[in-house]
Chain A
Amino acid sequence: DIQMTQSPSSLSASVGDRVTITCRASQSIDNNLNWYQQKLGKAPNLLIHGASTLQSGVPSRFSGRGSGTDFTLTISSLQPEDFATYYCQQRSRAPLTFGGGTKVEIK
Chain B
Amino acid sequence: EVQLLESGGGLVQPGGSLRLSCAVSGFTFSTYGMSWVRQAPEKGLEWVSGISGSDGSTYYADSVKGRFTISRDTSKNTLHLQMNSLRAEDTAVYYCAQGFGGVFGSTLDYWGQGTLVTVSS
Interface residues of A (CB under 8 A from B): 1, 32, 34, 36, 38, 43-46, 49-50, 55, 87, 89, 91, 94-101
Contacts and interface: CB of A to CB of B under 8 A. Distances in A.
Interface string B83-121: 000000000000100000111101111011110000000
A32 to B, nearest CB: 8
A50 B100 CA distance: 11
B44 A44 contact: no
Contacts, number: 58
A46 B61 contact: no
Interface of B: 35, 37, 44-47, 50, 59-62, 95, 101-104, 106-109, 111-114
Chain A's interface: helix, strand, loop or mixed, by majority? Answer: loop
B50 A96 contact: yes
B44 A98 contact: yes
B107 A94 contact: no
Contact of A94 (B101, B104, B109, B113): B104
Nearest to A53: B107
